[in-house]
Amino acid sequence: MVVEWQIRMAQALSSDVMRDIANDARRSSRPGTVIDGTDAKPKPKAEGPKGDAVTPLRPPEGISIIDQLCDEQDRRDRAALMETIARSEAARRKANDTP
């Protein structure tokens, strides 16, 4: 179903541009470009913008300690939740057993 904005958009562009867009879409399932008609990908740089060596990305210093702290707190939270559930279940059973 073609909506009004699609019709206005098609009318605003020249037929050459629309043809290039359609051909580009048919040519590949990868997104292409209509600007220069190529599917060129930028090549990775071996240098930073100032000509210095590129440092690979890695987690910040100390993140492993933070991960350990979070894992320990998760363990404690799970244990507390299990204890709360067990107490609640015991209270429910006791309430159901007494006449």
Distance between CA 12 and CA 79 in Å, rounded?
Answer: 64
Distance between CA 41 and CA 25 in Å, rounded?
Answer: 17
Q: What pLDDT sits at residue 33?
A: 54
Domain count, the chain: 2
In a domain, 46, yes or no: no
In a domain, 94, yes or no: yes
Domain range enclosing 86: 62-99
pTM equals 0.41
Answer for the pair 54, 45: CB distance below 8 angstroms, yes or no.
yes
Q: What pLDDT sits at residue 36?
A: 56
Tens of pLDDT along the chain (99 residues)? 677 887 887 778 777 877 887 787 777 665 555 555 555 566 666 666 677 777 778 888 999 999 999 999 999 999 999 999 999 999 999 998 866
